[in-house]
Each structure stands twice: as C-alpha cells, then as structure tokens.
Structure 1
C-alpha cells in the first residue's frame, strides 16, 4: 500500500527538506511510545547523524506501533512504515530459521545442526590441503556461529549477472574457499564471515533444488504474512512499496551534503544479506520470535536462541559479555534476556532487538551506511529504557560511544602508517624501483585481478575495482622500502566512514622486476596474506 499525503504536508516537508512522522501505524491500548516527543527526538537525531530517513516499529505484546521520519528520496518521497530498505545482515536470522525447518524436515532426515557441510556439498566445499580436518568437520552450526576460522574475505566477491546468477554466485563463492586462507583454528574464537552464510545458501539450494528466496518466502514470510519482503533488487523495484534511495554524507567537504548511492545488486549476498523489507513486516517477524510461534517449532526457536560463542569479553552498556547464537547476538540488559543483530549495506543500516520475556521488540531501518545504525540504536535504546523505566542516571551513554567510533573512522587514514608499521625505518628506506615499474595487473585465484596504475597524487599507486560486489578504490602509500599502506574506500560512497586500511609488500625478483604483491586485508582483524602474482607487464 502506498499512502497518500495532503498537499500542504508534502509541501511543508519539501520546504523543510525532511518529512516528519509521515505515517503512523498503531494497535492496542497501551501508550504510544512513538508520540510527539519521540518524533521531535527522531527528527533531531537524523539531523545530528546525517541520516536522510528512518523507519521504526515497536512490538509490545499484542500491540504494534510504527512510524517513518525523514526522506526515502530526498526532495520527493517521505519515509513511511511501508518504505522498503536493504536490511543487510539481519538476513542471517532468516537463513538460520530456514535451516531449523530443514533440520526438522522429513525430506532430509540425515541433516542436523552438526552435519558437516562437506557431506551436503562435497564437490564444492573443498579447502586447502592444510585444512583437511576443517574440510571434513566444519558443520552447519559452525558456519552459523562464525566459528569456522575463516575471516571476512569480502573483497574477493566479484559481481555476477545473468538469469542464473542467484544459483551460480553462491556456488562459485563456495568453490573459492579452496584458494582462501583461514586465520584461526576452527571453534577456538569467533570470527565474522559472510562467506559461510553464502556457503549455507548454496547448501540449502542444493538440498531443496530451489532458490533460497523462494524457500524463505514459502517457509517463513508467507506464513507470517510478510508480503513486503523481497530477496532481490529487481523484486524490490517491482514491488508496490517504495524502495528508499541510499545516500552518504560528504564528511570530507566542510559544507557537507548528501550524495546518492546506486542500488546494489543482491544475488551474491544471498543468505548473508539479501533481504529487502520494511519495519511492518519485521514487526511480524519479531512477534513470531518473542511468542515462539509457527512456522518455527518450539525446538527450532530454542536452537536458534541458544548461545554458542563469545565474540568479545566486553559488554558495554549491558549486563556482561555478549554471546552469539544462530544468527543472533544475545546478552541480558537489566536482567532481561535480549537478542539483537545489525545489518549494514553500502548506503543502508538496520537493527533488530527483541526481549522474549517482555514480549517486546524493536526494528529500525535507515538509508545511510553506519550512521543509520547509530541513529537507529540511539532511538531504540531510548525506547527500551523508557519501556523498562530506567532512570536517566543509569542509562549508558551510547551517543558518546558512536561519536568516538565515527571520529576514529574519519581519522583512520591519518593514523594508518603509525598503526600498521610502528617499528618502521626512520628515515624511510627508498623504494627499489621507479613508480611505473610497480604498475600492471596482478591476480589471485579467489581475489581475482588487481590492476595497479599511477595515481593522481605523486608517489602513489592506485587500483580501482569496479567489477566486484563492493566497488572500491585502493590507494597505495609508500612507507619504507617495498612496504606500503593501502587506503581503501568505497567508490560509490567515499564518505570516509567505510574506510579501511591494508598492508602491502611488493616482491622484486632476481631480474629486478616486480613479480608479486602481498596484501594483508584488515577488516575485523587480519584476513591473512593474499599473494597477487603479476600477469601483465608494466602499464
């Protein structure tokens, strides 16, 4: 349903550059938590964190409230509760739910949470020879709980197209594992890995002989009445609901300003992050979770909520360190068990929270990367604390924590050399070759081609990777000798918040030519050293 708006309200919204609480859906008899005071706070929060628009829904027992704030498309379309957003890694909970139903299915009696993945897709799940034990023993449960020992390796994902891309993408990603390093012993530490949820997507599609999007719709979304939830960009664009445009705020420009980001294709994301939905549908999902309702069984709900790993010893603002279940972080807050997961795409952010004993949950979705999550969580924690009547003096200062994280991102490039090479030679050793001698195309079987050219800045090299899920720029900054730092930024949203840094070392052979570049990507810690071998001459 696309709601209509009075001309006067819409004109006011356009003049102000933002749509206030543009539509509200509510039920039941409790006090509306999304009242006028909350609306003012929401609008102020969006302005503070440079988020064009955000939708939020609250589930409390039998009651549901939902509202939209700001703009789905700047200058034209306000956010409503029915506005669609990319929901990122909140997809992972649906993948776990599908597997709970598959585990209990009579059609697959041999499949359990502890079934080795190699038994399901033996020809495709092949690891490097030194990981023989992991190849034979890593299970569905291991992949769902990020304890396989594999890091992210997100930069190894090439973009795919074509009518069968939703099948071939996850199959090819699974096959790429035979060329990717692990960084931990399995089951020893928590290490976030999107690729393993893509592996599980391939396993589900292999077992069911159906696209995962169709399986999710038939097994979960249709039974819950989630008719505004989609698993591809094309389906979301054809939907009757509006799909919010994504934006980033230009932090590098003193005057700031929003820049639009192209919509991202989703076939590669699959069970790791391909869902597009709205807060009204997610409210139905939350109600299923807090009530332990169908289509999941009681045992299925128990399985996905059982903690398996401890991601960190820290538990800021909570009762203690968080644990990870199947697609959910879990902790307690003021004695109440809580489950949560965030989602982030190149220009979108989502967060889901639910408290089973309170029959209470919240979902927030916005249309910027990183700052949507900051704004959504600040509003979510306001609602949670109000619901529990927590005194102001006992409420954790999430805003300061998010400010610190934002400033750290903005300063990352300035501090990268000192952080990554604290013991470097001083003065720096000169590089061994003329700058142009380092240029050319280098390749790795899983990370594919990396073409390095002369950059715009003196003394720098640059690679632009556009044929990948995440279009990125790699700027090489000389450190000492053959050692370099790579400044990595999103090509379509270079707002400094998605920045990353990596280490690089060029290898010069006996012939005096550069034969190889070793790169250590460092998203969420080391992703192993990736050797790119030269395949073309200097450009």
Structure 2
C-alpha cells in the first residue's frame, strides 16, 4: 500500500507502513483496530473524506502485529477507495457507477443518499427506525451521507438491485469474471467463534474480501451484513446450488431476523429434513436480542469492530468498581474544562453541563456524548457514553492529569484493543 500511496499511506510504526498489502486490508489482518471514534462527520468543521481518513492512519496506534489475527477495521476499506480514486482519477461514486451499477442494470443504486437524490430517487429513500424504549415506539431518522465511510458502507440500493450483484457473483457475469470471482472468495483470515463455540453443523468463519464464508453441513455459505443506525442488510449465496438471497430493512433488528430467515432458506436449499432444522427464534426473542445486542457503538459500514466485547467487559467491571469505591468530587469542575487535542482523534471540548463534566462529540461520524462521573483521586472517572442516535449508557474509563490547579491531559478509553487510553493534551498546554 505504501508503494501505491507513498505520501498518504503511513502507519505510526514503520513495519506496518512497509508491510501492509491490499490483501491484508481486504482480510482485516492489518493489526489496526477500528478507531471508530476518530473520524469526523459531514457536519464537523473539518469533515473527513477517504483521503483524510488515509492520512490520519499515521496518528493511530495499531493493536496487534501485522497478520497475527483478524480485527475488523472499517476505515481500511475506506482507504482502499482512496487508492481507487487516486489510480483511476475518478470519484469512487463514478467508479462504482461505471464498473458495477451500469453494467449490471442496478439503476436504483448509488453512493450516499445524496447520490440517490441526484439520480431522482429521493422520493424512494427509506427512513430508518430506532426503537425508543422510553416511549415504546420507533423513532424515524433520515439516511445520512457518510463520505468518510465509503467502501465500508454508504452504498444506497434496493433488494431488487442487490440481487443482481449476487447473481453476477454466483454466475460470474458482467464485471465478475473468473479472476475477480476467485479474488472475492479467497480466504484471507479466520474469525474466532463467539463464545468459543460453533453453531450446530457449522464450521468456523473465514473472511475473504468484503465477505465471510463458513461451511454448513459441508456446503459453503458466503455473505455479509451491513448496519447503520436505523437500517440493516444481509446477503448470502451458496455457489454449489447457485442460490442467493438478500434482505434489506429500515429498522433495528433487521439482521437478527435475516439471519434466522436465511438459516431456514439454507436448510431448504441443502435438503435438511424439517425435523432436523434449528427452530426459528420467536418474535419476543428477536426483539430481546435487538435491545440487548447494543454494545458500545454502531458502525457506518458493515460491522462494528471487535472492541465491543471488550467494552462490555469494561462496562461490567466499571459498574462493580463504581459501587465499591466512588469518592466525592471536591475539585472545582472549572479546573477540568477546556479544549483538548489528540492528533488521531482531533479535538474534544470538556464543558460543564448539569453540574457534571460533559463532552459533545456529535461532530463525529459516529456521534455521541460523554457525561463524567467521578470515581477517585479527583482524576479517575467513568464517562457515560450515549450514542446520539441510539442512546444507551456505555461506561468508558477516563482520566485527567493535573499540573497544579488545572488539568493538562485527558485520557479516554475509546479503543480498548490498543490496551491504553487515547490521550488528549489541553490545547494551551501543547508545546
């Protein structure tokens, strides 16, 4: 990658800069974690795009050695789109249109909601739905542009269009020739099963290129899901049977429903007797799964990074610590306030709101707020993270460092996989 993008592709450690290949990126084996909270949304004073996401890699810490394990990283797929734009001298939206959408007759597909509107499809754009448990009703939200997430997501399409893409893969039609097909299905990394246990009759999952593959009763099943706030999607195909399916939904829980539906469809295709099939989940179970399945954050692309399980453990641990050892706040809150800076995560402004330290990070691509709760020593805190769209109360360890009577550094545990906090320096303390 550094040979292809010598000025832009630089990682904090030289071995990654020199070593990472396109294959490593496609297989999520670069060693780079998600760093999902580092990129800025379209309403930020300095919104990110594919180039700025790429150039910011130098300011972000890798988590594990190159090719040592699978770690999902949305931004690396955005980096690949920057490479496409540089080498073709075209916007990624134009590349998709010329190479995929037009040849396959995907007339309802575009990049970003604004791309759909430019095609005259604005009246067909679905609105997303998020369950609000306080009112026991769905909140309706607009689909959002996310140029900083292109490649990991941001394709606007319909089920009827997407099945054309699946058909092209299965039959190796149009832009999908044999070489492209083999590149798409090439296994690049392995995923550990959740909880260390495999589902019945199912192998471990491998990652290929924008797809996963597992074997069910001896038959290969390829697919992937997509999720942003209020929307979900999933596709599968079984090349042995030339069978494929797509589910799109504009509400939370789409992918839980799709997974159950696909299991039944796959059983039908491979000829599993009805009495041997795994039972579909009840409606109540699916709804419960939707509500309990929210971990730290959502992603703009296809899947949240693996930090979620670690964040959940942090949450449980911090709850225990809070109940046992919380001390009263005695320092003036004004000694903590101010603008803080980290090169990779940009600026954070600590304010006072409702007699508590507060950060409004809704300018991020994955917008959120933080409310600080003191734990001990006037420096150790728990930050309550609430997603702007989905709400919630996820607990993030936080810490301040003082020089005299004012804070000069702030640490936030925004990327658990790196094993350290993200440290921000107070702006008037830098240099």
Instruction: Give the TM-score category using the shorter length.
Output: 0.7 to 0.9
Match of 1:513 in 2: 406
CA deviation after TM superposition for structure 1 residue 428, in Å? 3.2
Kept in 1: contact 2:34–2:75 (CA 8 A):
yes
SS of residue paired to 1:273: coil
CA deviation after TM superposition for structure 1 residue 315, in Å? 3.1
CA deviation after TM superposition for structure 1 residue 240, in Å? 4.5
What are the Cα deviations for residues 473-523 of structure 1, in whole angstroms up to 9, with x where unaligned?
1222333332222222221332x3xx64422111122x1321111111247
Corresponding position: 1:471 with 2:367: yes
Corresponding position: 1:153 with 2:6: no
Q: 2:325 aligns with which of 410, 424, 427?
A: 427
Structure 1 Cα separation of the partners of residues 242 and 119 of structure 2: 31
CA deviation after TM superposition for structure 1 residue 421, in Å? 7.1
- The structure number with the bigger radius of gyration is 1
Match of 1:533 in 2: 425
Segments of structure 2 that go 5 or more residues without pairing to the other structure are: 297-310
Map 1:308-323 onto structure 2 (within 5 A).
308-313=188-193, 314-317=197-200, 319-323=202-206
What are the Cα deviations for residues 66-112 of structure 1, in whole angstroms up to 9, with x where unaligned?
xxxxxxxxxxxxxxxxxxxxxxxxxxxxxxxxxxxxxxxxxxxxxxx
Segments of structure 1 that go 5 or more residues without pairing to the other structure are: 1-116
What are the Cα deviations for residues 222-265 of structure 1, in whole angstroms up to 9, with x where unaligned?
111111110122121244541101121102x1x41111223311
CA deviation after TM superposition for structure 1 residue 419, in Å? 2.1
Match of 1:461 in 2: 357
Q: 1:337 aligns with which of 220, 229, 234?
A: 220
Corresponding position: 1:492 with 2:376: no
What are the Cα deviations for residues 162-184 of structure 1, in whole angstroms up to 9, with x where unaligned?
9x98xx71111111111111111
CA deviation after TM superposition for structure 1 residue 278, in Å? 0.3
What are the Cα deviations for residues 438-474 of structure 1, in whole angstroms up to 9, with x where unaligned?
2222111121111122233x5x422112222222112
Match of 2:305 in 1: none
Corresponding position: 1:307 with 2:201: no
Kept in 2: contact 1:452–1:461 (CA 8 A):
yes
TM (normalized to structure 1)?
0.69
CA deviation after TM superposition for structure 1 residue 186, in Å? 0.8
Corresponding position: 1:394 with 2:276: yes
Q: Taking structure 1 as reference, are residues 250 and 353 closer, same or farther at Cα in structure 2, changes over 3 Å only? A: same
Structure 2 Cα separation of the partners of residues 248 and 485 of structure 1: 26
Match of 2:49 in 1: 169
What are the Cα deviations for residues 97-139 of structure 1, in whole angstroms up to 9, with x where unaligned?
xxxxxxxxxxxxxxxxxxxx001111111122xx111101100
Kept in 2: contact 1:250–1:259 (CA 8 A):
yes
Match of 2:24 in 1: 142
Q: 1:132 aligns with which of 3, 11, 14?
A: 14
Corresponding position: 1:248 with 2:141: no
CA deviation after TM superposition for structure 1 residue 430, in Å? 4.6
Corresponding position: 1:269 with 2:117: no
Kept in 2: contact 1:153–1:527 (CA 8 A):
no
Match of 2:345 in 1: 447
Kept in 2: contact 1:502–1:522 (CA 8 A):
no
Kept in 1: contact 2:80–2:151 (CA 8 A):
yes
Kept in 1: contact 2:383–2:398 (CA 8 A):
yes
Kept in 1: contact 2:61–2:418 (CA 8 A):
no
Match of 2:236 in 1: 353
Kept in 2: contact 1:290–1:357 (CA 8 A):
no
Corresponding position: 1:383 with 2:265: yes
What are the Cα deviations for residues 358-381 of structure 1, in whole angstroms up to 9, with x where unaligned?
101111111124x12112222232
Kept in 2: contact 1:247–1:347 (CA 8 A):
yes
SS of residue paired to 1:225: coil
CA deviation after TM superposition for structure 1 residue 216, in Å? 1.4
Kept in 1: contact 2:212–2:223 (CA 8 A):
yes
SS of residue paired to 2:281: helix
Q: 2:64 aligns with which of 184, 188, 199?
A: 184
Match of 1:120 in 2: 4
Kept in 2: contact 1:500–1:522 (CA 8 A):
no
CA deviation after TM superposition for structure 1 residue 435, in Å? 2.9
CA deviation after TM superposition for structure 1 residue 420, in Å? 4.1
Query: Aligned residue pairs: how many?
Result: 406
Match of 1:503 in 2: 397
CA deviation after TM superposition for structure 1 residue 213, in Å? 1.3
SS of residue paired to 2:411: strand
SS of residue paired to 2:189: coil
Kept in 2: contact 1:315–1:322 (CA 8 A):
no
CA deviation after TM superposition for structure 1 residue 392, in Å? 4.5
Kept in 1: contact 2:62–2:418 (CA 8 A):
no
